[in-house]
């Protein structure tokens, strides 16, 4: 599914303008690159785009300009998105225009697959890396990179260099970077046993002292 976002030209700027826009479920946005523009986008449209396509997809940006009675199209990527620290809703969007015949560097998400096919050897899958940095043409950006753990055994790891990267995509993240590991489960000891293992004496219950005091009485 193609990612499409509609925007309008914005002449004014400032905190008060941004507050007014958000009150109408609209967001301030900026397009960077050879066609620098201040824009207004629909908050719900942006949220839907992020839910479906994420932050790393090529977007067809349609900029409506009523004064010139025309719509311009730009190929863009999301440069940055600002979110409310408490509510989590999006506040501002930065976009940058890209050339379709020049490679871009960006991060794409990693998705673990094959857990249900693993032999149950008691190990636990631990994920250390949730996205990797790649370089490719904007038209070849993968939606995600899968990490197949179906054959991973106890004390084994998968590094970034082990991943199956699509043709035409270059890995920028270090190949030695750990992505997932199959680790033995940690056993939590009772506090008394844990202290004993560390060389400390287990706390006395005080029963012997009480008994001796009773006998003395």
Q: How far apart are CA 136 and CA 104, in angstroms?
A: 6
* Distance, CA of 193 to CA of 150 (rounded, Å): 36
Averaged pLDDT of the chain = 86
Model confidence at 202, pLDDT cuts 50, 70, 90, reads very low
Report pLDDT for 78: 94
* pLDDT the model gives residue 200: 53
Q: How confident is the model at residue 213 (pLDDT cuts 50, 70, 90)?
A: very low
Which one is predicted more confidently, 22 or 108? 108
Taking residue 38's Cβ as centre, other Cβ atoms within 10 Å add up to: 15
Angle, CA 85 vertex, CA 49 and CA 142 arms, to 5° = 30
In the predicted structure, residue 129 carries a pLDDT above the cut 50 = yes
> Under a CB-based contact definition with an 8 Å cutoff, are residues 75 and 98 in contact?
yes
Is residue 192 over pLDDT 60? no
Res 215 pLDDT > 80 = no
Distance CA 126, CA 27 (A): 38
Question: Residue 174: pLDDT above 70?
Answer: yes
18: part of which helix (H) or strand (E)? helix 15-23
pLDDT at 18: 81
- Between 98 and 211, residue with greater pLDDT: 98
pLDDT value of position 209: 46
Answer whether 7's CB lies under 8 Å from 53's CB. Answer: no
Using pLDDT thresholds of 50, 70 and 90, give the confidence band for residue 199. Answer: low
The predicted pLDDT at position 118 comes to 92
Residue 47: exposed, middle, or buried by beta-carbon count in 10 A (0-12, 13-18, 19+)?
middle
Mean pLDDT (whole number) for 143-171: 96
Residue 214 has pLDDT above 50, yes or no: no
pTM: 0.74
Give the per-residue pLDDT at 16.
80
DSSP annotation of 101: T
pLDDT digits (tens, 9 = 90+) for 72-119: 999 999 999 999 898 888 899 999 999 999 999 999 999 999 999 998
Asked if pLDDT for residue 151 goes beyond 70, the answer is yes
Give, in order, the Cα–Cα distances in Å from 215 to each of 123, 205, 207, 211, 212: 54, 18, 12, 6, 5
């Amino acid at each position: 599914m193609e990612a499409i976002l509609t925007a309008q030209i914005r002449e004014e700027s400032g905190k008060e303008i941004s507050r007014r826009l958000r009150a109408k479920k609209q967001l301030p946005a900026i397009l960077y690159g050879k066609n620098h523009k201040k824009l207004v986008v629909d908050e719900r449209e942006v949220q839907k785009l992020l839910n479906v396509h994420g932050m790393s997809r090529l977007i067809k940006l349609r900029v409506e300009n009523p004064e010139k009675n025309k719509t311009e199209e730009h190929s863009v990527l999301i440069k940055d998105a600002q979110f409310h620290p408490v509510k989590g809703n999006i506040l501002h969007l930065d976009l940058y225009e890209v050339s379709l015949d020049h490679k871009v560097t960006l991060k794409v998400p990693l998705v673990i697959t094959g857990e249900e096919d693993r032999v149950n050897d008691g190990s636990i899958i631990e994920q250390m890396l949730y996205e990797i940095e790649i370089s490719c043409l904007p038209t070849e950006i993968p939606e995600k990179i899968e990490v197949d753990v179906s054959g991973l055994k106890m004390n084994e790891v998968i590094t970034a260099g082990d991943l199956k990267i699509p043709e035409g995509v270059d890995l920028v993240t270090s190949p030695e970077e750990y992505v997932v590991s199959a680790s033995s489960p940690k056993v939590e000891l009772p506090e008394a046993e844990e202290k004993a293992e560390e060389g400390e004496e287990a706390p006395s219950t005080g029963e012997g002292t009480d008994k001796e005091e009773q006998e003395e009485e």
